[in-house]
Amino acid sequence: METELKPIEWKNHKLVLLDQTRLPNEMVYEEFETAESIWDAIKVMKVRGAPAIGVTAAYGLYLGIRDATENSFEDFWKELKKVSDFLASSRPTAVNLFWALERMEKTAIANNHLDVSELKNVLLKEAIKIHKEDEITNRKIGENALTLLHDGIGILTHCNAGALATTKYGTATAPMYLAKEKGWNFKVYADETRPRLQGSALTALELQLAGIDVTIITDNMAATVMSQRKVNAVIVGADRIAANGDVANKIGTLGLSILANYYNIPFYVAAPTSTIDMKTKTGKDIPIEERDPEEVINRFGQYTALKNSKVYNPAFDVTPHENVTAIITEKGIIREPYEKNLKDLFEESKIG
Ligand SMILES: CSC[C@@H](O)[C@@H](O)C(=O)COP(=O)(O)O
């Protein structure tokens, strides 16, 4: 098995995605050339994780307008907006999807004086820029996060906020890759993350391939490892952070934050500023995706409950900002009062 996983690649004028639904057993790379197939890849989670969805959607938008025949900007814009709105309907929670599409739209508007063919090239360049920036951003998140950690630490993480959820390093896992580079001795506990098992199938896989000491636990074992003092910090990613610091992330994150607070363990959220949605006031305003009940009751083609069972399957939950020790971004570490400090960060960094 290859040791460096490449979740997203732009190659020979096509988008190549590592099909994450087949991990950890098979490494299958699939090529994409249409917005429709990319919409489907996001929906069925061949590609998943907030930053990775954003990067994929940016390429998807380019692929959706690449063969457009419109000559005037006005007609081209109508087509572009149609493709953008379509891609935006693939998944509702991770704000990076909307952030990347908006950035592509703004790029089109800023270059509306160009020939449509030149404009298409500018849009491809912007998608590639979004892709490349993600790697740099994650490394910076890792460097900032490392200042809060120490050699010998035990870290618990949930879902996959790893390299597979981004383009490299991940967000929650970025300090782990950097700690490994520094030769630190540390242990990671990866929650299995029911129902789709991103923790065991993806996080444990990528950390193991990187030679990082990772132990899988089922979600209901988190309290035990915390009570046994095996964990000194919890680090998770985020799908959307509201302006007041409330964090939407993979279902189960809220429970972990409550446990971490009970056991006095710092609870960190590692995310790029593109995951912070200043237009969403609080966690209550974040749309939470509900997924197919089959994810809960059908495991690997076998029912584990009666087929007609009633099932509730929210894919994300919201952790109130009171439970978050710090939000680690590429631009710095943010603490309470989140509303003020996030506002200052956006104003000082001139984001948005
Ligand atoms: C850096 S990825 C952050 C989040 O997107 C991640 O923690 C998560 O919840 C992923 O959910 P998924 O449903 O697998 O897309």
The predicted pLDDT at position 331 comes to 97
Amino acid at 52: A
Give the predicted TM-score (pTM) of the model. 0.97
| Cβ-based neighbours of 191, under 8 Å, separated by 6 or more | 156, 157, 158, 159, 199, 217, 218, 219, 222, 252, 256
Amino acid at 100: A
Q: Does 162 sit in the ligand 1 pocket, CB within 6 Å? A: no
93 C-alpha to ligand 1 centroid (Å): 10
Q: Is 239 a catalytic residue?
A: yes
Please tell me the total number of residues recorded for the chain in this structure: 352
Successive 10-residue mean pLDDT values, the chain, 352 residues: 84 98 97 98 98 98 96 96 98 98 98 97 98 97 98 98 97 98 98 98 98 98 98 98 98 98 98 98 98 95 97 98 98 98 93 69
Q: Does 328 sit in the ligand 1 pocket, CB within 6 Å? A: no
Q: Does 48 sit in the ligand 1 pocket, CB within 6 Å? A: yes
| Cβ-based neighbours of 145, under 8 Å, separated by 6 or more | 174, 175, 178, 235, 268, 270, 328
What is the chain's Cα-based Rg? 20
The predicted pLDDT at position 135 comes to 95
Nearest CA to ligand 1 atom 10: 49
Q: Rounded to whole angstroms, how far apart are CA atoms 297 and 156? A: 26
Cis geometry, peptide bond prior to residue 24 (ω within 30 degrees of 0): yes
Residue 228 among known ligand-binding residues: no
Pocket test for ligand 1, best of 17, 250, 330 (most atoms within 8 A of CB): 250
Q: Rounded to whole angstroms, how far apart are CA atoms 158 and 199? A: 6
Q: Does 161 sit in the ligand 1 pocket, CB within 6 Å? A: yes
Atom of ligand 1 nearest to the CA of 289: 13
DSSP alpha helix (H) spans, the chain: 35-43, 50-65, 73-88, 95-110, 116-146, 174-181, 198, 204-209, 222-227, 253-262, 294-297, 338-348
Atom of ligand 1 nearest to the CA of 166: 1
- Active site residue: 134, 191, 239, 246, which one? 239
Q: In the sheet that 267-270 helps form, which strands lie side by side, from edge to edge? A: 214-217, 187-191, 154-157, 233-236, 267-270, 326-329, 332-334
Residue with token string 């391939």: 209
Q: Rounded to whole angstroms, how far apart are CA atoms 247 and 270? A: 11
Residue 198 among known ligand-binding residues: yes
> What 3-state class would DSSP assign to 37?
helix
Calculate the CA dihedral of residues 323, 316, 160, 127 and round it to 10 degrees: -110
Which residues make beta-bridge pairs with 236?
269
The predicted pLDDT at position 350 comes to 78
Q: Which tokens belong to 18?
A: 């590592």
ipTM of the complex: 0.99
286 C-alpha to ligand 1 centroid (Å): 15
Q: What is the DSSP letter of 44?
A: T
Angle at 305 between CA 300 and CA 306, to 5 degrees: 115
| Cβ-based neighbours of 115, under 8 Å, separated by 6 or more | none
The predicted pLDDT at position 204 comes to 98
> What 3-state class would DSSP assign to 62?
helix
The predicted pLDDT at position 4 comes to 76
Q: Does 171 sit in the ligand 1 pocket, CB within 6 Å? A: yes
Which helix (H) or strand (E) covers residue 185, if one does?
A: none
231 C-alpha to ligand 1 centroid (Å): 21
49 C-alpha to ligand 1 centroid (Å): 4
71 C-alpha to ligand 1 centroid (Å): 39
Q: Which tokens belong to 256?
A: 């972990």
Q: Does 238 sit in the ligand 1 pocket, CB within 6 Å? A: yes
Domains defined for the chain, CATH in brackets = 8-136 (1.20.120.420), 139-348 (3.40.50.10470)
Q: What is the DSSP letter of 274?
A: G
Atom of ligand 1 nearest to the CA of 198: 14
